[in-house]
Amino acid sequence: MTNAPNIDGWTCPLPLRDQPNILIGHGGGGKLSAELIEHLFYPAFANHLLQARGDSAVLALAGERLAFTTDSFVVRPLFFPGGSIGDLAVNGTVNDLAMMGARPLYLSAGFILEEGLPIATLGGVVERMGAAARVAGVQIVAGDTKVVERGHGDGVYINTSGIGVIPPGVQIAPELARPGDMVLASGTLGDHGMAILSVREGLEFETVIQSDCAPLHGLVEALLAAAPGVRVLRDATRGGAAAALNEIARASGIGVVIDERKLPVNPATAAACELLGMDPLHVANEGKLVAFVPPDQAEAALAALRAHELGAQAAIIGTVVEAHPGVLVGRTGIGGSRVIDTQVGEQLPRIC
Amino acid sequence: MTNAPNIDGWTCPLPLRDQPNILIGHGGGGKLSAELIEHLFYPAFANHLLQARGDSAVLALAGERLAFTTDSFVVRPLFFPGGSIGDLAVNGTVNDLAMMGARPLYLSAGFILEEGLPIATLGGVVERMGAAARVAGVQIVAGDTKVVERGHGDGVYINTSGIGVIPPGVQIAPELARPGDMVLASGTLGDHGMAILSVREGLEFETVIQSDCAPLHGLVEALLAAAPGVRVLRDATRGGAAAALNEIARASGIGVVIDERKLPVNPATAAACELLGMDPLHVANEGKLVAFVPPDQAEAALAALRAHELGAQAAIIGTVVEAHPGVLVGRTGIGGSRVIDTQVGEQLPRIC
C-alpha cells in the first residue's frame, strides 16, 4: 500500500507548487498547513528535533528532558464567552507542553500591537494572561512588544513560547500508537470553535456556548498517574479532533476507528453545528485532548479523566487497528462507516 | 536623590495614564515602551525573573542556568542591504541570549502571515532563517504558523524565542556596572537603522549602507575568555547605544560618561545621519554590543574584541562614574558635555 501522507501531498486540491500565494487556509492546521511545514519549513530548518512532530520539541539538557514549544494567537474577537486571547495564549502553550507529559514552568510573551489599540484593551488582555498564568502555575518570564501601523495588524497578536520539564519515565510521542490501543477524548468536542463563531457572527442560540479554554497539565498528570503507559496525547485545537486523530494515525502508521455515537458533544454545540452544517469533529477545542492508551489501562485512564473537573465527560471513543494505516474511520449511528479526512484549510479562520 | 526611573515615569511627555491608545512609539524601545513594561506588563505578570530586566530571563533548571528570551520582528522591507527579517529573527534572539553570556542552542519560530503573501517570498525568508541558524550554530526546533486576512498583517511577522546555557562562573546582568568600569562598543554604531531607512525611503548615498546584522555569541565568548570579569553586556538595538547605556545606568544606579569623539561610526552612516539630522547614538544596531568591564581588564577586553572579525572597530568609549546616577552624559568634541536621554518613541519605526 502506498504511504498515505504522500498521497495526501500529491492529491491535495491546492498543493504548494500550484498555489503561488498564502491562503487563509495555510493557517488552519489542515492539509495546507501541513504542506507548508513539509515542503517549506522542514527543508529550510532541517533537524530531527523539529521533525519529531510533537506538540513540543524535546530537548536533552543537563540530564533533564525539557519540552519547548511556541504558538502565535490571532483570534478575533479578542474577548469571547469563556475566554480571551490572553487566556488562549497562556493555555494554548501550556497545553502543548502538557501533551508531551511535561510540567509547564516558564512562558515568554511577544506582543504585536496595532497603532490605535486602546491601552485599556491591552490592559484587559494582559490582566487575563496574568490570571491564566497564575491558575496554570506558570511564570511569564520574558517579553517583547512591537507596534505596527494602523491597518497592518488587528489590535493584538500574541506569541507565547513555553518551557516545561518531562518527568523521568514519561514517554509520549505521536508515533507511539499501537494496534489495540484505546482512544479517549477528555470531554465534549467543538465548544471553542462554536463559541467563537457564535459571537463573531452574532448568532444567538438558547444557551450561550462557552469556550472550553483551560490548562490541561493537571488533567494529564492525573491521567499519567492512573495510566502510566499512555502512548500519545494531543490537544484537539485547529482542525478539531479529526485533525489530531489523523495526524496520529499517519505518524504512527496505524488506523483509527471511532464510534461517532460515543463522541461527547454539548447539546448547544451539537445544535449550532447542525444548524450551520458543521461537524464537531472538525471544530477546534482549547481544553480537550485525545489520548491513546494501552487496552489494559483504558478503564483506569477513563476513571482518572472523569474524576478530574476538566474530564468529567471523558469517553472511550475508539480503537487503533492495523488496517488502513494513516486513515481515520468513523462508524456512524446507522451502522455504516466513513473515512474522516483532515480538512484542506479551516472551517473557521482565526479561532486561536 | 530621587530615583531616576520614577522621575522618567512621571515626567514623560506622553505618560500611559494620559494617552488612551497605543502609539507607534510604544514599540520603539524608548520611554513609551518602558512605561508599558513598567505600568502594564510588570503588574500583570509580577515575578522576579521577568523584572530582572536582562536581555534574557535566567532560569535555574537541573543545576544549570538557562537563558530564555523572546523577540518579535516586524521590519519592513522584508529584505534590505545586509540582511532580511529572517536573519534578524535568528540573530536578534541569539544576541539576547549572548548578552547574558549564554551559549545559544535552540530557537522557536512563530510566523504570522498575511493572506496573499507570495509563497516564494516566504520561502526566501525561511531559507535565510535556516542559513542564519546554521551560521549561528543553533537549531530551530519548534514552529507555528498563523494566517491573517489581507490588510491585517504586512507580509510576514516572525517571533523567535530562544534557549541557551550560561556557563558556570559567568555573571552578567544590567545592574552590575560599578564606578570605574570602562565602557566599550564592539564596532561602528547606527548601521542597521540607516541601512533600513535608506532602502525604505529610496535614499541613495555614494556607498550602500549595509545592516550589521550578525550573531554575537562568538564575539562574547572571545570577550569573556580575555576579560572574565565583564559585568554588563547589551546589544544596542532599538533606541541605539543611547538607550542601552541609559538602561544600564538606571539599572545599576551609576552614571555613564562617554567621549563622543571616540564613538566608532562608518563614514557613510555618519554622512547619512548628518544629512537627515539623526544621531548615530540613537540609531539601531543588530550586530553591536556595549560592554562594561572592570578597569584592569579593559585593555584585554578591547584586544579580544578587535581580534574578532565582528569587533575589528571596537573602542573604549567611556567610563562609569558615581556622579549623576541613572544619567548618560556625552563629552562633545568641543570640550562641552550634554545629557543624552533615551528617546520617547523611535526615530525609525519597524526597524526590527
Overall domain count for chain B: 2
Both ends of chain A: CA-CA distance in Å? Answer: 36
A147 touches B at CB < 8 Å: yes
**Residues A187, A70 within the same domain:** no
**Residues B218, B322 within the same domain:** yes
Q: Which of B44, B63, B126 sits opposite A62 (nearest CB)?
A: B63
| Cβ-based contacts of A124 with chain B (< 8 Å) | none
Copy the grid coordinates of residue B121: 517570498
User: Residue A208: inside a domain, yes or no?
Assistant: yes
Per-residue pLDDT tens digits for A298-330 = 999 999 999 999 999 999 999 999 999 999 999
Q: Which of A73, A142, A147 sits opposite B69 (nearest CB)?
A: A142
Point out the domain boundary residue: A141, A170, A199: A170
Interchain proximity A141–B57, CB inside 8 Å: yes
User: Residue A28: inside a domain, yes or no?
Assistant: no
Q: At B173, which amino acid appears? A: A
Copy the grid coordinates of residue B278: 539623526
Give the C-alpha separation, A254 to A232, whole Å: 13
Point out the domain boundary residue: B121, B148, B170: B170
Per-residue pLDDT tens digits for A11-48 = 333 455 567 999 999 998 888 999 999 999 999 999 99
Q: Which domain CATH number covers A127?
A: 3.30.1330.10
Average pLDDT, chain A: 92
| Cβ-based contacts of B149 with chain A (< 8 Å) | 24, 349-350
Give the C-alpha separation, B352 to B64, whole Å: 31
**Residues A314, A215 within the same domain:** yes
**Residues B197, B163 within the same domain:** no
Interchain proximity B145–A36, CB inside 8 Å: yes
User: Residue A33: inside a domain, yes or no?
Assistant: no
**Residues B219, B123 within the same domain:** no
Phi, psi of A91 (to 5 degrees): -70, -35
Short-list B328, B233, B239, CA closest to B289: B233
Q: What is the DSSP letter of A343?
A: P
B50 to chain A: nearest residue by CA? A141
Interchain proximity B139–A74, CB inside 8 Å: no
A105 touches B at CB < 8 Å: yes
Interchain proximity A50–B142, CB inside 8 Å: yes
| Cβ-based contacts of A57 with chain B (< 8 Å) | 106, 108, 141-142
Interchain proximity B130–A70, CB inside 8 Å: no
B140 touches A at CB < 8 Å: yes
User: Residue B37: inside a domain, yes or no?
Assistant: no
Q: Which of B26, B61, B146 sits opposite A72 (nearest CB)?
A: B146
**Residues B286, B311 within the same domain:** yes
**Residues B128, B189 within the same domain:** no
Per-residue pLDDT tens digits for A67-99 = 999 999 999 999 999 999 999 999 999 999 999
Give the DSSP H/E element, type plus range, for residue B331.
strand B328-331
Short-list B340, B344, B348, B342, CA closest to B276: B348
Q: Which domain CATH number covers A231?
A: 3.90.650.10
User: Residue A18: inside a domain, yes or no?
Assistant: no
- How many beta-carbon pairs below 8 A join chains A and B? 284
Q: What is the DSSP code string of A50-100?
A: GGG--SSEEEEETTEEEEEEEEEE--SSSEETTEEHHHHHHHHHHHHHHTT
User: Residue A260: inside a domain, yes or no?
Assistant: yes
User: Residue A14: inside a domain, yes or no?
Assistant: no
User: Residue A15: inside a domain, yes or no?
Assistant: no
Residue B48 CB contacts under 8 Å (≥ 6 apart), including other chains: none
pLDDT in tens, chain B (352 residues): 333 223 233 333 345 556 799 999 999 888 899 999 999 999 999 999 998 888 899 999 878 999 999 999 999 999 999 999 999 999 999 999 999 999 999 999 999 999 999 999 999 999 999 999 999 999 999 999 999 999 999 999 999 999 999 999 999 999 999 999 999 999 999 999 999 999 988 887 778 999 999 999 999 999 999 999 999 999 999 999 999 999 999 999 999 999 999 999 999 999 999 988 999 999 999 999 999 999 999 999 999 999 999 999 999 999 999 999 999 999 997 889 999 998 887 677 898 9
- Contact present, A268 and A190 (Cβ < 8 Å): no
| Cβ-based contacts of B105 with chain A (< 8 Å) | 59, 61
**Residues B164, B297 within the same domain:** no
Range of the domain at B237: 182-339
Point out the domain boundary residue: A170, A205, A222: A170
A57 touches B at CB < 8 Å: yes
| Cβ-based contacts of A161 with chain B (< 8 Å) | 70, 108, 110, 142, 159, 161
**Residues B187, B294 within the same domain:** yes
Give the C-alpha separation, A286 to A289, whole Å: 9
Q: Which ipTM value was assigned to this complex?
A: 0.93
- Secondary structure tally for chain B: helices H, strands E: 10, 14
Q: What is the DSSP code string of A207-219?
A: SPPPP-----HHH
Give the DSSP H/E element, type plus range, for residue A119.
helix A119-136
Task: Identify each DSSP E strand in B196-285 by its residue range.
Answer: 232-235, 255-259
Q: B 153-212 residues with CB below 8 A of A?
A: 153-154, 157, 159, 161, 163, 165
Q: Which of B16, B22, B68 sits opposite A108 (nearest CB)?
A: B68
- Contact present, A101 and A166 (Cβ < 8 Å): yes
Short-list B123, B126, B117, B127, CA closest to B153: B117
**Residues A165, A189 within the same domain:** no
**Residues B87, B195 within the same domain:** no
Give the DSSP H/E element, type plus range, for residue B161.
strand B156-166
Q: What is the distance, to the nearest Å, from the Cα of residue B134 to the centroid of all Cα atoms in its chain?
A: 22
**Alpha-carbon separation of residue B173 from A57, A212, B57, B67, B100 (angstroms):** 29, 41, 10, 12, 7
Per-residue pLDDT tens digits for A242-277 = 999 999 999 999 999 999 999 999 999 999 999 889
| Cβ-based contacts of A69 with chain B (< 8 Å) | 108, 142
**Residues B194, B302 within the same domain:** yes
